Amino acid sequence: MLRSVFLKSLRNLRRSFVWWSIGLAGMSALMVSVYPTVRNNAALDKLVKSYPDALKGFIGFGGRLDYTSAAGYLGIELFSLVVPLLLIVAAIGAGANAVAGEEDRGTLDLLMSLPVTRPRVALEKFGALVAELVALGFVVWLSLWIGSVAVGMDITAAKLAAASVDAVTLAVAYGSIALLAGCATGRRGLAIGVASAAAVAAYLVNSLAPLVDALSPLQKLSPFYYYGARSPLRDGLDPWHMLFLVGVAALALVGSIVAFRRRDLA
């Protein structure tokens, strides 16, 4: 028998981690392998800069669209949407499954019969979620670093690590929201729906705020603003923006513990 809820949760995540790792590594390698056909292509760079402002709002990462540079290419093709999207999907699945999934499967009563408190269960489930996302972020970083060396991309391992950490932190925030919804309702499907709706709404608000005046006051409430307002691929991590994302995760975790302690379990 495993000695902790944390280790048991990690074991339960092992299969999804393997498949997510294969997908993320393959996608990263594919996109990097295409870069030599883009590099120094001034016409392609000019084309991207001619896109409508609405489209630029969706594909921009860090406010610059220098598509033919290594940072610009990876920002537009991977870090503006694809990498955070996939990590958020993995995080929401793990967060919703942490408590609500156990309840849906009828295994939560067995877990709670052990000498563990509800706050400890929530904390260790959250720890397993973070561990999985950190490991997936490392897979993304390693794949991109190896690929960048192979094709001669002008970008450092430190900048790739900064972008990967940024994406992981954003995903942890939404995984925590899924955990909160699961702890509050005990329904896995509802937890996935709530966290997914929150992510989609925040992404649209951040992307459309420069074009829609009514959304401008809401932009800085969106975690995606703090994820993409500054490009870590060029400038490194912004500690204040990171603090906001960590704060969202921390508040959701505290809410999860409170909700789990107070709710009658099914």
Domain boundaries, the chain: 5-38+81-262
Contact 74, 228 (CB under 8 A): no
User: Identity (one letter) of the amino acid at 261?
Assistant: R
What pLDDT, on the 0 to 100 scale, is given for residue 113?
76
pLDDT-based confidence at 39, cuts 50/70/90?
A: confident
Q: Among 103-107, 184-188, 240-244, whose mean pLDDT is lowest?
A: 103-107
In sequence order, the 6+-apart residues with CB closer than 8 A to the CB of 225 are: 206, 209, 219
Q: pLDDT per residue over 164-208, tens digit each? A: 999 999 999 999 999 999 999 989 999 999 999 999 999 989 888
What pLDDT, on the 0 to 100 scale, is given for residue 179?
96
Q: pLDDT per residue over 217-228, tens digit each? A: 888 899 999 998
What pLDDT, on the 0 to 100 scale, is given for residue 161?
96
Share of the chain above pLDDT 90, in %: 54
Closest-CA residue to 157 (of 76, 243, 74)? 74
What pLDDT, on the 0 to 100 scale, is given for residue 7?
86
pTM score, two decimals? Answer: 0.91
Query: What tokens were used for 65?
Result: 């669209």
In sequence order, the 6+-apart residues with CB closer than 8 A to the CB of 85 are: none
Is pLDDT of 1 > 50? no
Looking at per-residue pLDDT, the higher value among 53 and 2 belongs to: 53
What pLDDT, on the 0 to 100 scale, is given for residue 170?
97
Query: What tokens were used for 143?
Result: 């794949």
What is the rounded CA–CA span in Å between residue 95 and residue 123?
12
What pLDDT, on the 0 to 100 scale, is given for residue 109?
78
What is the average pLDDT value for the chain, to the nearest integer?
88
Share of the chain above pLDDT 70, in %: 91
Is pLDDT of 137 > 60? yes
What pLDDT, on the 0 to 100 scale, is given for residue 102?
84
Q: pLDDT per residue over 74-101, tens digit each? A: 988 899 889 999 999 999 999 999 888 8
Within 13-156, where are the H helices? 14-34, 42-49, 53-59, 70-74, 82-96, 102-105, 108-112, 118-151
Is pLDDT of 57 > 80? no
Give the mean pLDDT of 25-34: 93
Is pLDDT of 136 > 70? yes
What pLDDT, on the 0 to 100 scale, is given for residue 219?
87
pLDDT-based confidence at 67, cuts 50/70/90?
A: confident
